[in-house]
Amino acid sequence: MIEDLRDHTRGLAVQADVCLIGAGAAGITVARELAGTEQRVCLVEGGGWQFEFAESQSLYAGTNVGIPVPLQAGRLRFFGGTTNHWEGRCAFLSDVDFRRRPWIPHSGWPVDRAELEPYYQRACEVAGFESKWRSDEETLALLEAPLPVLNPDWLRPFIWHYAPAMRGASTWRWAKAYGTLLAEAVNVRTLLHANFAEFSLSRDRTRVASLTVRSLNGVAATIEAKNYVLCCGGIENARLLLLESQRNSGGFGNDRDRVGRYFMQHLRGRAGLIASAEPLRLQNQFNLLRGPDGLQVEVGMILTPEIMEREELLHCSSILQYEPDRESGIAAAHDIWGALQTGHWPPDIGDKVGRIAENFRELAGVLERKLASHRTLAGSSVTPSKSAVLVVDLEPAPDPESRVMLADDRDALGLRRVRTDWRHGERERQTAARVASLVAAEFARVGIGRTRLEPWVQDERVSPVDALQGVPHYIGTTRMSDDPGEGVVDRNCAVHGMENLYVAGSSVFPTAGQANPTLTIVALALRLAKHLRE
């Protein structure tokens, strides 16, 4: 059942076994797992069914005192959460991401990859993958695009898998996929426009006794549940714990001042331009490709654990991106095809046909590959490019001074807004620069191409803040640790010092790893759902 709190003008009191706060990837996944069980679930979502700026999204406004963080654009506040603009790029974290790495202070998870493995497999199903998840080696073998042999001591190929498209969406959407299931589940009650207002505590202050939620038109609901799970994303989870810790003069995982600290985002930077004698060959190797199951995969490179340890690097990967050559015959063919599909002749048709004729061999080659293998370059990346952009993606190092705090100003519900102080620096620049140099050297060695590196790669005087931009994956603010002095939640994602309050989402990651976080968020949510059921 899905209801709008604004319609309950007399207020509402709900009894539940599990109260889930936030309907994004984590909240919907836990609700989906508990649907059809004997557990009574109440899922509260601050937004509505659609994007509404004034009614909901504006509550995400805040201030930055460090490196700017897109507090509004980086997250979405309606049913489905930030998955509503998810790009579908998926990978598992590697073994090394979970390990304590002596050269990275505060690294190490209390669980290892093996612990998450069965949940990763199921997370793929939840994220829309119908076929079995193939290993990188298996996927590469099926791609029919043999890669050059890179120095295995430095780099290895890495595959990102893209979730399937859905009707009306370019990729998998949790709201579309599971909205109906949750609406029809007799044991799940979903309240929209139900914004977090406050927790009330048991007398001994070890349990949440109830949650009050409020709509912006003043309707309140009280939910009494056995367990509560914060599933509001990497910034909001910390903000809500900070609000409650302040209101209750402590507790809520913040007795050691850990909530909101270690705030991280993945970093991405353009590291160089690769000139190749065979650009089309390069595009067939390192690119977005049509994978063996018909879904897109992206082939890139990643550091080996050995070089990470030897050179004390962060985890980092690299991909190539291509600017389509608008003068190519294939670009002309695309233009003509696109115009004809809209019922028009394209402008300059004579010129375009001329370009196709000039580049007929190139066009024929692409068509031949498409007909022969059905595994072509995906989407617009089929258009030839004269050069490739070398892009690096990396994890930041956990830094307790990089943090989410409370601002002094308040939102429409009277709650203090968020203030971020996001930091990264020379260490991240060094890793990114090293990876760029390694890729450039290997590409030169095997004769793929020559790389002109960006100034920041070679010049320490260029600020890493200008070179490496944040990818809006908000991570680490309620980190997982067996030691309450080092983290906010334990290995089961329960808030230290609280018996029935849990956190789901990327805020519990102690380190970001190099992979996009969604599959790990979902895997941890599945694991938490099992814990709650038991």
Partner 1 sequence: MTGQQVNRRELMCALLGFGAGALACAAGGRGHMGPNPGSLGDWLRYCAADFFPDLTALRRLGAIYLVAHPEERSRALLSRLLIGGGDGTIPSRLLSAVARDWSSNHVAVVDGWLLARSEARLCALLHLEETVRA
**Binding residues for partner 1 restricted to 383-402, rule: CB under 8 A:** 387
**How far is C-alpha 156 from the chain's CA centre?**
22
The tokens describing 173, both together, are 């959407």
Q: Does 410 help bind partner 1 (rule: CB under 8 A)?
A: no
13 binds partner 1 (CB under 8 A): no
Q: 63: which strand partners?
A: 419
Confirm if 504 and 529 have CB atoms less than 8 A apart: no
Determine how many CB atoms are found less than 10 A away from the CB of residue 337: 10
Nearest-angstrom CA–CA distance, 76 and 51: 8
**Could you tell me where the DSSP H helices lie in 259-415?**
279-285, 305-311, 329-341, 349-358, 360-373
What's CA 84's distance to the chain center, in Å?
Answer: 12
Using the rule CB under 8 A, is 321 a contact of partner 1?
no
85 binds partner 1 (CB under 8 A): no
The yes or no reply on residue 531 touching partner 1 (CB under 8 A) is no
* Residue among 513, 520, 505 at smallest CA distance from 104: 513
- The binder of partner 1 chosen from 380, 458, 463, 492 (CB under 8 A): 458
Rounded to a whole number of angstroms, the minimum distance from the CB of residue 444 to partner 1 is 6
* Bridge partners for 296 per DSSP: 290
Site string for partner 1, 148-167 (x = CB under 8 A): ---x----------------
Residue 132 in contact with partner 1, rule: CB under 8 A: no
Q: Which of 111, 169, 273, 389 binds partner 1 (CB under 8 A)?
A: 273
Q: How far is the CB of 434 from partner 1 (least distance, A)?
A: 10
441 binds partner 1 (CB under 8 A): yes
Compare residues 52 and 325 and give the one whose CB is closer to partner 1. Answer: 325
- Tell me whether residue 13 or residue 444 sits nearer to partner 1 (CB atom): 444
x/- track of binding to partner 1 for residues 421-440 (CB under 8 A): ----------------xx-x
* Residue 412 or 453 having the CB closest to partner 1: 453
Measured N-to-C along each axis, helices 518-533 and 25-34 cross at an angle, to the nearest 10 degrees, of: 30
460 counts as binding partner 1 under rule CB under 8 A: no
Q: How far is the CB of 281 from partner 1 (least distance, A)?
A: 12
CB of 451 to partner 1, least distance (A): 5
Q: C-alpha distances in angstroms, 324 versus 162, 170, 350?
A: 21, 21, 21
* Residue 387 C-beta: closest distance to partner 1, Å: 7
Distances (CA, A) of 26 to 196, 292, 403, 481, 491: 17, 29, 22, 19, 16
**Interacting residues with partner 1 (CB under 8 A):** 151, 272-273, 275, 277, 387, 437-438, 440-442, 444-445, 447, 449-455, 457-458
